[in-house]
Structure 1
Amino acid sequence: MFKKLLLAASALVSINAFAQPPQAALCAGCHGQNGISAIPMYPNLAGQKKQYLEDQLKKFKSGERPNAIMKGMVASLSDADMKALAEYYANMK
């Protein structure tokens, strides 16, 4: 019984760990609903390394990586938001 409960709880944690962050809807406009962009000039996010994605978001926000569009997109994101987005896209195929 305990093993079944533990298995069910871990499944729920796994599902929630990779749930779509609310901010992903903004990303989908350019980077695609599934993280694969239909527009060649916008990079695919699906399957990228988590740390890379998080670092890039932070660089856009700080201005270290200049891009007017992305700076505006990440301006209101917290560190936790950026981490969640990076994890979400990194876990896509």
Structure 2
Amino acid sequence: MPKATQLKRFAIVLFAAGALAACSQSEVESADKSAGDPGHASGEQGSRSSAGLPEGRIAAGEHLAQAKGKATGQSCIDCHGADGNHPIDATYPKLGGQYGDYLAHALQAYRDGNRQHVLMSPQAANLSDQDISDLAAWFGSRPSQLRDLHGLK
């Protein structure tokens, strides 16, 4: 076999080995992050928020959604329904299956006074960033009854 062909084959093998090693390293780093992140592998973690919040914890969000707020004496599910899909008033939004980032931004806006509602503003006033992230992760993980209006006339 000519030397040029051998070098070409060697280069291809070397490139393939490097690519395989890079992929394997990426998978190892991903597995390491998951292993160090309690609940991640079990699906208990939500996703990171574009709102700059910590990663949401679905189970903690469920607990918060059921807790009565000091400001109104109501819980999230009292007004929005057990899974966020059955609000007690037609003007209240369905939260189940909503984008977590949307919910996080909305709750931050209520908390920070940039969005006003007679009930939601005081309910959100004392939520921490982690609380908001947890609530957004839980409501976002619920089944959705939301529909998009694309194509409707």
Give 1:18 deviation, angstroms: 2.3
**What letter matches 2:114 in structure 1?**
E
Alignment match, 1:33: 82
How much identity, in percent, do the aligned residues show? 30
- SS of aligned partner of 1:64: coil
Look up the match of 1:91: 141
Unaligned runs of 5+ residues in structure 2 are 1-34, 46-56, 67-74, 144-153
Q: Which has the larger radius of gyration?
A: 2
The alignment's TM-score, normalised by the length of structure 2, stands at 0.50
Which is bigger in relative contact order (C-alpha 8 A, separation at least 6)? 1
Q: State the alpha-carbon separation in 1 of the partners of residues 129 and 58 from structure 2.
A: 17
**Which deviates further from its counterpart, 76-85 or 21-30?**
21-30
**Residue of structure 1 equivalent to 2:41:** 10
Mean CA deviation greater in 18-27 or 43-52: 18-27
The 2-side partners of 1:47 and 1:58 are apart by: 19
Contact 2:58 2:135 in 1 (8 A): no
| 4+ runs deviating over 2 angstroms | 15-18
Output the amino acid matched with 1:61: R
The amino acid that maps onto 1:24 is: A
* Distance in 2 separating the partners of 1:82 and 1:47: 16
Measure the CA separation in 2 of the matches of 1:54 and 1:76. Answer: 14
Distance 2:102 2:59 in 1: 20
Instruction: Report the aligned-residue RMSD.
Output: 1.9
Offset, 1:60 = 0.5
